[in-house]
A and B are shown apart, each in its own frame.
Chain A
């Protein structure tokens, strides 16, 4: 039987893996993919809570509403990020995050 805990463990793991990816990956596109993983962890968390919540129908539906907004915002954010990284690539011919070092300290 699948309980709320399973959802929470899965979402916690996904979130942690995503965070690790953001910190460890050196390719800007892979960093973005890791951020997507974190956002999807949020979605799994929300859907789990929304299924097992002891509340009225409208309060449970709110979780689904939030998920739709999260997916939309994540897509927009990714498109924007790729556009900006593309500009960087045109000017610098590299998307390795270690090379983004003109400004530091």
Chain B
């Protein structure tokens, strides 16, 4: 099959981004609602096209730079859906707080493109460029509220630390290229599998690479930018940072680790274990003392990055010695499915939580946890969804977060990481405290005014969709699990 036809979904997304920029010139100021409508309709069309056109196709493009398989199909459709949700949840916020709507939506769509490329890249240079494309979009979007000094400050911090992290990542890539002679994941696995001793320079390269990627997913000790940037960014973009950029980076890391680094995982495991333990503990402990709700959720998302890192460190069994062998592949697949499921469940819950915050912010103009007081009376539906999303993030049963944490922790303990799972469960318990503190303000504290919060049709619809998705995945995860198993099988077949 022709290379270009397999890239049609990406090409359509590029065309969509540019056409939104162009349409923006030709419509008057009071008719800007056309832009998000057009974007959502087109994204839905592209999603359907992708699902129909790419399902069952497996191919390498341009000598393995991009891979078309079940794994990339799964993430491409997930990111297209995510882009649609983000645009819907931005509509009201953008109307009220931001100017230059055309640029906002088109940059958002370009970040969706970058995420799609990240999930399908099979080579380090492509991975780096798509990662940078995503980051560039996010730098602009974080600083988009031009006259808000918090947004400026968040953007400055994000771009300086992001550029630093990409320099570190690139140094790692240059070491790997120099000492292995290749940047393709498959060839790396072949070379690493055939050599018995590892060059220390190569180990430095992988460490730098992990550090650079750790910056992007906000893993401790590279997390310092996250709370500031999450607090200062416009709220829909905070949701994008917490969900999209994290999911895309983990999609990239999973493919890189599974198809490239598997022979080396036993050496890298201890680093990942330490990072996971630190991230879970510090993220959840720091969230206890926060008073700004976006900052609180930022630390909570650092904690969730820790759970995902727990999954990554469980890719190989702790008892396994010597070379990687295929007997453990089923356990590895189980863990990979767990990571993907947790990414999805955490993403849905976080999107719902941030949507609630942005609705409340629109009414009250504050983002402190005290300002949530009395929301339970003012808008019962909103607070029900908020409560559900918070329970789901904490991992309580019947919500999506429970089933995903259960799956992830089971996989990790099957691989022998009992102590790390114990830390994870303990930090989940700690996290309940600050999640319940949010609920205390919503339902128990009395509000000073009795002004009602009326939901618009758009936010009501999106909130119900996310609410139903959270409960549906929590009760009946089988359809989603089937899709995830399909993706995981496609990933491990590369070996």
Contacts and interface: CB of A to CB of B under 8 A. Distances in A.
Given A69-B129, A81-B163, A84-B139, A91 B170 contact: no
In the complex, which of the residues A66, A69, A85, A104 has the most CB atoms of chain B within 10 Å of its own CB atom? A66
Nearest to B183: A62
Contacts of A59: 181-182
Contact of A88 (B153, B168, B174): B153
Interface secondary structure of B, over-half rule: helix
Interface in A51-105: 53-55, 59, 62-63, 65-66, 69-70, 73, 76-77, 80-81, 84-85, 87-88, 91-92, 97, 100, 102-105
B174 A46 contact: yes
B167 A35 contact: yes
B130 to A, nearest CB: 11
Interface residues on A, range: 35 or more
Contacts of A41: 171
Nearest to B228: A103
A22 B157 CA distance: 12
Interface residues on B, range: 35 or more
B111 interface: no
B41 interface: no
B155 interface: yes
A81 B128 CA distance: 18
In the complex, which of the residues B150, B156, B168 has the most CB atoms of chain A within 10 Å of its own CB atom? B156
A17 interface: no
A38 B227 contact: no
Contacts of B174: 42, 45-46, 49, 66
In the complex, which of the residues A66, A100, A103 has the most CB atoms of chain B within 10 Å of its own CB atom? A103
Interface in B128-155: 128-129, 132, 136, 139-140, 143, 146-147, 149-150, 152-155
A66 B177 contact: yes
A2 to B, nearest CB: 16
26 contacts: A22-B164, A35-B167, A38-B164, A42-B170, A45-B171, A46-B177, A46-B178, A48-B178, A49-B174, A49-B179, A53-B181, A62-B125, A62-B183, A63-B178, A65-B125, A66-B174, A77-B132, A80-B136, A80-B140, A81-B159, A84-B140, A87-B143, A91-B152, A92-B149, A100-B156, A104-B228
